[in-house]
Amino acid sequence: MPTRTAAQRRTEAKREYDAYLAECPARQLLDRIADKWVSLTVTALADGPKRYSDLHRRLAGVSQKMLTQTLRHLERDGLVTRTVTPAVPVRVDYALTPLGRSLLPVMRAIKGWAEDHMAEVWEARVAYDARG
């Protein structure tokens, strides 16, 4: 096995997580965080822990199945914690982890961009559709 320099090892490590490469595991993560329910769930948790029912009310249009799936994926990826408090009925709270909080500025920016530029996108869509 040939000896590699530290620079060569860093280059190889960077190549391992190049999302442009088909086999890159970062693609799975990129696919996950690009999901609309993920971005909305992460931003909904920005102000602190929320109960499932609060999230479901906040995220208009999300099905129970999709919200449950989204929260499980976020928990598995280390972005959200799930805390169960014994009570009648049982209380379950979801909160962002430090890793999840590090994603928050990006998600807020994307959400804000979509809200700020929707009128321009609508105009572009209408113009495109009018062409044929």
Give whole-number Cα distances, 62 to 14, 65, 101, 108, 115, in Å. Answer: 36, 8, 22, 19, 19
In a domain, 20, yes or no: no
Residue-wise pLDDT tens digits, 46-92: 999 999 999 999 999 999 999 999 999 999 999 999 999 888 888 89
Range of the domain at 80: 25-131
Q: What is the CATH number of the domain that holds 113?
A: 1.10.10.10
Q: Domain count of the chain?
A: 1
In a domain, 17, yes or no: no
In a domain, 36, yes or no: yes
Cis omega (within 30 of 0) for bond into 89 = yes
**What is the pTM (predicted TM-score) of this model?**
0.80
Look at 19 and 67; give whichever has higher pLDDT. Answer: 67
* DSSP 8-state secondary structure symbol assigned to residue 96: E
Q: Residue ranges of the alpha helices (H) in 5-97?
A: 6-16, 26-33, 36-44, 52-58, 64-76
Place of tokens 């280390």: 78
